[in-house]
Chains A and B, each alone.
Chain A
Amino acid sequence: MEQRRTQFGLNIPALVQSAGYPRLIITAFLLALMVYAAVLGLPIGQLVSSILVRFGMNAILVLAMIPSIQSGTGPNFGISLGIVCGLVAATLSIELDLVGLTAFFFAVAVSAILGSLVGYVYGLLLNRVKGQEMTVGTYTGFSIVSLMCVFWLMAPYKSPEMIWPYGGEGLRVTITLQNRFDKVLNELLAFDIVGVRVPTGLLIFLAICCALMWVFLRTKTGMAMLAVGSNPRFAASSGINVDKFRLVGTVLSTALGAVGIVVYAQSYGFLQLYTAPLYMPFFAVASILIGGASIKHATIVQALVGTFLFQALLVVALPVANEAIANNLSEVIRIILSNGMILYALTRKEAGGDLG
C-alpha cells in the first residue's frame, strides 16, 4: 500500500486507514450536530454530562463483547442471558432490603456468580453450534427473556417496592431504585467542572473493569483464548483445548453482561424487567462494531470508542431532533445506525468465515 507523508509528518492515509471510514463519518456527523446544538443555544455542559453518564453506564455491556469475539464465538447476541442474571441479582438485593453501596456491590457479586453459571451452560451450547453462534445466541436470548417473563410474574418476592401496590400479579414492569442504589456510583466523588458533572465513581468502576480485562487478556489463559479465537485449527494442533477456551470466553462475557446491567440500572435509576432486555444485545453489539471491531477481532479501545461515539450521537441527536423536527427521531436513528452497523460488519469480506 502506498504511504504518503505530508509535510507536517502526519501520515494521513494511514490515519484514515486505522480510524476507518465509519468512525470518521460518525465523528464528523457528531461534530456537526454539536455545532448545530450550540447554534440552537442548547446547554452544552448538560449534553457533555449526559454523554459521560451514558458512556459509563453502557460501556461494561459493550466490554462484555470482547471475550466472546476474541474467543471465536462472535459478538455475544445472547448477552441478554447475562442481563437477566443481573436483574435477578438486583431484585434479590432489594428483597433482602439492602441499601446504598452495599446493595450495589451485593448485586454485582451475585450477578457475576449467576452470570458465570448461566454462561457456562450457554457456552456448552455454543460449542455444539460452531459457525451459527450468532443466530442461535439471538434466539436463545429471546426465548430465555420470554421465559423469564413468566418468572417475573410468579417470583415469590414480597418487597412492596417490587410488587404491585393493590394486588395484581407478579413484579412491576419497572422498579425504581430511588431508595436503593440509584446513582450510587455516579455520585461517588462526583464533581462539577465548567458546567460538566463528572460521574467519577462510574468512570473509576469502568476503568477497573477495563484494567482487569487488559490484564486478563495478557495472562496465559487470555493468550490461549486469543489463539483459539484467531485460528482454532492452529490452536488445536498446538495442543490447546479449543472448546475449553471458548467456554472461558462465553462465561466471562455473560458474567460481564450481568454486572453491566447492574451498573446500567444504578445509573438509569430503574430496573426494567419483562421484555426490556430483548433488544439490548443488538445495541451492545453495534457499539463495539462502531468502534471498529469486526466479528472476529475486538479490543478494549474499540469497545470504549464505539460506546462513546454511539452514546454521544444519541445524546446530542435527541435535543437537536426535538428542536429541528419531531419527537422520537432519536430512537429511529438508534435503530437504523445500530442495525446498519451490524449489517456492515456481517458483510465485510475480511470477517468472511464462509461456512459452506
Chain B
Amino acid sequence: MKTLVPESVRSKAEASLARFLIRNAVPILFTVLCLVGSYYARLPLKFLLNDIIVRMARNSFLVISLIIPVLAGLGLNFGIVLGAMAGQIAVITVTYWEIGGIAGFLLSMLLALPYAILFGWLTGILFNRAKGKEMIAGLILGFFANGLYQLVFLFLVGTIIPFRNEYMLLSTGIGLRNTVNLKGIHYALDNLLKVGVMGLNIPVATFASIVLLCLAIRFLFKTKLGQEFRSVGQNRYVAEVSGINVDRVRIIAVIFSTVLAAWGQLIFLQNIGTLNTYGSHVQVGTFAVAALLIGGATVSRATVGQALLGTFLFHLLFIISPLAGKNMMGSAQVGEYFRVFVAYGVIGVALALHAWQNITKKS
C-alpha cells in the first residue's frame, strides 16, 4: 500500500516529514484543538487527568471493537449499536436476577455473548446484501434495531415477557423505566484492582482487559483467519478467486465486532452505574467511530494505537469543550453543541475524503 513520494528536488527527510504531516493531519489538528481548548478551559491538571483516565477506561474497548470490520473491508461498523443492545439486554437480566459484583459482571458478559453473536450474524448477512453500502446500512440498521428494542422494552416487558420488579418497571407495570440503577455491578471491574498513584485513581483491571484485547487483536491478525480478513479487506474479488469464502469471512468479522461492542458496553455501564434504558446505546456508534477517526484511522485502515489515541483526544475534547466554550464565547452550551458538531463533522469529512480518494484512484 506504500506509495513512494515522487522524486523531486526535496530531500528525502523533508518528503517523509511532509508525508507524516499529511497522513496524520487529523490527529495533529485535534491535538492543537485540544491544547487550545485546555488552555481556555483552565481546569486543574489533576482533575483533567483523573477524568481522562476514567473516560479512557470506559470507552477504549468500544472503539477498538471497530477495528476488525475496517480491516476486513466493511468500513466503519455503525452496527455496533446492536452489540451495545446485546450488552444492555444482559445487564438488565443480571440486574433483574439481583446478581452483583464481579460475578454479576462476568455473568452478563456470558449472557451477552449469544445475543451479540446472533445480532452480528444478522448484521453480517445484511451487509453482504448491501455491499458497498455497508456504512449507511449499518447506520439505518442501528435506528431500526433501536425501534425493535423500544418495542420489546417499552411494550412487551411486563406483558408478554414475564417480568415483575417494581423498581425496574414503569408505574403501569408495563415497560422498563427510563433509568435502571445498576448498583449491583457498579464499578465491578473498575474496583477489582484500583491503584492510586500521586492522587490519580487507576482502574488496573479495566486497563488490563483493554491491553488484553489489544494483544488478542494483534494475535488474531497473525492467524489464518486474520490473514483472510486482511485479504478480503484488500480486494474482495482477488480473495474470492483465491478460494476464500468472502461472505463468510465478512460475517465472522461483523460477529467479532458485535461481541466486542457488547462487552465494551458492559465495561461502559459498570463504570457509569446507571443504565439509560432508551438512550445509552443510541450514540455508541457515532461516538466510537468519531473517536477512531480522530485517532487518524480511515475507512480502510485502522490500528489499535489509532483507536487509543483517538479515544484520548475525543474525550479530552469532550471534557474541556463546555468550559472552553464558556470562557471563550460566554456560553457553555455553545461548547456542548460544538463538540457534537465536531463528532459528526469529523465523520463526514473522513467519509468524504475516503470517497474522494477512491474516485481519484480509479480515474
Q: List the interface of chain A (C-beta within 8 A of B).
A: 77, 125, 128-132, 134-136, 138-140, 142-143, 146-147, 149-150, 153-154, 169-170, 279, 282, 325-326, 328-329, 332-333, 335-336, 339-340, 342-343, 346-347, 353-356
A-B residue pairs in contact (CB < 8 Å), sample of 23: A129-B356, A135-B351, A139-B345, A140-B348, A142-B348, A143-B341, A143-B347, A146-B340, A146-B344, A149-B340, A149-B341, A150-B337, A153-B331, A153-B334, A154-B331, A282-B143, A325-B155, A326-B174, A326-B175, A336-B148, A339-B144, A343-B141, A356-B131
B359 contacts A by Cβ under 8 Å: yes
Contact residue among A146, A279, A355, A356 (Cβ-Cβ distance under 8 Å from B341)? A146
Apart from A128-B356, A135-B351, A347-B130, list 15 A-B contacts with CB within 8 A. Answer: A129-B359, A131-B132, A132-B352, A132-B355, A134-B136, A138-B139, A139-B344, A142-B347, A143-B345, A146-B344, A154-B329, A335-B143, A335-B144, A340-B147, A355-B132
What B residues does A282 contact at CB under 8 A?
140, 143
A135 to chain B, nearest CB (A): 5
Q: Given A131-B355, A346-B133, is A169 in contact with B345 using a C-beta cutoff of 8 Å? A: no
What A residues does B341 contact at CB under 8 A?
143, 146-147, 149-150
B322-363 CB contact bits vs A (8 Å, 1 = yes)?
Answer: 000000010101100110110011011001101110110000
CB-based contact A131/B126 at 8 Å: no
B135 contacts A by Cβ under 8 Å: yes
Q: What is the bound-complex CA distance between A150 and B139, given in angstroms?
A: 25
Interface hits, B125-155 → A, CB 8 Å: 126, 129-133, 135-137, 139-141, 143-144, 146-148, 150-151, 154-155
What A residues does B236 contact at CB under 8 A?
356
Q: Which of B130, B133, B150, B151 is packed against the most chain A CB atoms within 10 Å?
A: B133
Interface contact tally, CB-CB below 8 A: 136
B327 to chain A, nearest CB (A): 15
What A residues does B334 contact at CB under 8 A?
150, 153-154
Q: Given A131-B355, A136-B352, A150-B338, is A339 in contact with B132 using a C-beta cutoff of 8 Å? A: no
What A residues does B237 contact at CB under 8 A?
356
A350 to chain B, nearest CB (A): 12
Say what secondary structure dominates the interface of chain A.
Answer: helix
Q: What is the bound-complex CA distance between A140 and B136, given in angstroms?
A: 13
Q: Given A143-B348, A339-B143, A347-B129, is A326 in contact with B356 using a C-beta cutoff of 8 Å? A: no
How many B residues touch A, CB cutoff 8 Å? 45
A230 to chain B, nearest CB (A): 19
Across the two chains, which residue of chain B brings its CB closest to A134?
A: B136
Interface hits, B276-299 → A, CB 8 Å: none
Q: Given A128-B356, A153-B333, is A135 in contact with B147 using a C-beta cutoff of 8 Å? A: no
A4 to chain B, nearest CB (A): 31
Across the two chains, which residue of chain B brings its CB closest to A149?
A: B337
Q: What is the bound-complex CA distance between A139 and B356, given in angstroms?
A: 15
What A residues does B126 contact at CB under 8 A?
343, 347
What B residues does A326 contact at CB under 8 A?
154-155, 172, 174-175
Q: What is the bound-complex CA distance between A340 and B358, given in angstroms?
A: 29
Q: What is the bound-complex CA distance between A147 and B338, given in angstroms?
A: 7
B58 to chain A, nearest CB (A): 23
Q: Given A129-B352, A332-B150, A335-B146, is A342 in contact with B135 using a C-beta cutoff of 8 Å? A: no
Contact residue among B132, B143, B150, B358 (Cβ-Cβ distance under 8 Å from A354)? B132
CB-based contact A336/B355 at 8 Å: no
Q: What is the bound-complex CA distance between A149 and B133, given in angstroms?
A: 29
Give the 3 A-B CB pairs with smallest separation, nearest first: A139-B348, A335-B147, A336-B147
B262 to chain A, nearest CB (A): 21
B35 to chain A, nearest CB (A): 22
Q: What is the bound-complex CA distance between A146 and B341, given in angstroms?
A: 5
Interface hits, B147-197 → A, CB 8 Å: 147-148, 150-151, 154-155, 172, 174-175
Q: What is the bound-complex CA distance between A138 and B151, given in angstroms?
A: 25
A137 to chain B, nearest CB (A): 9
Q: What is the bound-complex CA distance between A147 and B336, given in angstroms?
A: 11
CB-based contact A343/B355 at 8 Å: no
A236 to chain B, nearest CB (A): 12
Q: What is the bound-complex CA distance between A23 and B340, given in angstroms?
A: 37
CB-based contact B146/A142 at 8 Å: no
CB-based contact B150/A335 at 8 Å: yes
What B residues does A342 contact at CB under 8 A?
140, 144
What B residues does A143 contact at CB under 8 A?
341, 344-345, 347-348
CB-based contact B348/A346 at 8 Å: no
Contact residue among A125, A142, A340 (Cβ-Cβ distance under 8 Å from B144)? A340
Contact residue among A142, A149, A154, A332 (Cβ-Cβ distance under 8 Å from B151)? A332
Q: What is the bound-complex CA distance between A355 and B136, given in angstroms?
A: 14
What B residues does A129 contact at CB under 8 A?
351-352, 355-356, 359
What B residues does A170 contact at CB under 8 A?
333
What B residues does A329 contact at CB under 8 A?
154-155
B282 to chain A, nearest CB (A): 11
Q: What is the bound-complex CA distance between A119 and B344, given in angstroms?
A: 19
Q: What is the bound-complex CA distance between A332 and B155, given in angstroms?
A: 10
A83 to chain B, nearest CB (A): 15
What B residues does A139 contact at CB under 8 A?
344-345, 347-348, 351
Across the two chains, which residue of chain B brings its CB closest to A331?
A: B150
B57 to chain A, nearest CB (A): 27
What A residues does B345 contact at CB under 8 A?
139, 143, 146-147
What B residues does A154 contact at CB under 8 A?
329, 331, 334
Contact residue among B135, B358, B359 (Cβ-Cβ distance under 8 Å from A135)? B135
B59 to chain A, nearest CB (A): 20
B15 to chain A, nearest CB (A): 26
Contact residue among A132, A339, A356 (Cβ-Cβ distance under 8 Å from B140)? A339
B94 to chain A, nearest CB (A): 25
What A residues does B354 contact at CB under 8 A?
132
Interface hits, B34-76 → A, CB 8 Å: none
B76 to chain A, nearest CB (A): 9
B206 to chain A, nearest CB (A): 31
Q: Which of A150, A154, A340 is packed against the most chain B CB atoms within 10 Å?
A: A150
Q: Given A128-B356, A130-B359, A339-B140, is A136 in contact with B351 using a C-beta cutoff of 8 Å? A: yes
